[in-house]
Amino acid sequence: MTSVQIDPSFTGYGKTGVCLLKIRRSGKYHGIKQIEVSTELKLNNYDDYFRGDNASIVPTDTQKNTVYALAKQHQLNTIEDFALDICTHFLSTHKQVNQVSVEIEETPWRSLQQGGVEHAHAFVYSPEVIRFCSVTYARGEKPKLSGGLKEMRILKTTQSGFTGFCKDKYTILPESTDRTFCTKVYCRYQFDAMKGVNFDNCWNFVKSTIVEEFAGPPHTGVYSPSVQNTLYLAEQKILNSIPQISYIEMAMPNIHYFTVNMAPFGLTNKDEILMPTDKPAGIIKAALSRNPKAKL
């Protein structure tokens, strides 16, 4: 018989797609938070795999019910705090659980506005950006927490170019000093320390920094010589501004808009009518980490 061993880095089990909506009522004014939670547990033994002994298994249905119950008891102000509480619950309740991983995505609802006034209890789905977080908490270790955003599609019609790039016999892309720049941002950042961290403030700062580095001042904008440079400047500012964040990664696909040739119609088109195309798209990504402090 072939000798085999189990890979603990991959082995685990849990529940995905646990969706819930929490309504917070304060008189006639209501607030909501809708989230999707995934949990994964790693046990201190593999008896369930090796011998079919299920005594140590916390059923995935129990994990689902735990998420609902904790959501009822939790303020659920931030998904990061809630993810940490879920991890802590399983580690403190079940001694056979060695590690818990929790991932949460928040559905982007916002209060509906009428005449500039927020409605007391009506909301509109506003998919500008999706917030997410991930926590891995191993027994006897510090939790590892990361937050982030995705699906944030942003576009500017000028103040972007791409010149001086490497060319070979297959290069047909013309240089441009004025082009439309569109991307769909993915960003994940990892906390090295969590004490005293305001997760909402951190997330809002990350989001606004990415937008500011992309767009620039509202009346003048800022020139982007490449997607790479814009991405790097945003990551650098975030690391320099939030000391608790030790690592950040971003991906910014270059979503192309091509000028439609209207000469066959007898029309001129000075980049007024563009044809959007999601695929193929360039993909640019980079990660920055804080330089480790020298040991004295």
Active-site amino acid positions: 15, 60, 256
Which residue, 233, 131, 252, is CA-closest to 184? 252
| Plot region of 291 (φ>0 → left; ψ -120 to 50 → alpha; else → beta) | beta
CA dihedral 215, 123, 36, 94 (to 10 degrees): 120
Tokens representing 46 are 């593999």
Which residue, 19, 20, 25, is CA-closest to 121? 25
| Plot region of 63 (φ>0 → left; ψ -120 to 50 → alpha; else → beta) | alpha
Residue 134: Cβ-neighbour burial (10 angstroms; 0-12, 13-18, 19+): buried
* Contact call for residues 260 and 276 (beta carbons, < 8 A): no
Chain CA centroid to CA 188, Å: 5
User: In this structure, are strands 245-259 and 130-138 parallel, antiparallel, or unpaired?
Assistant: unpaired
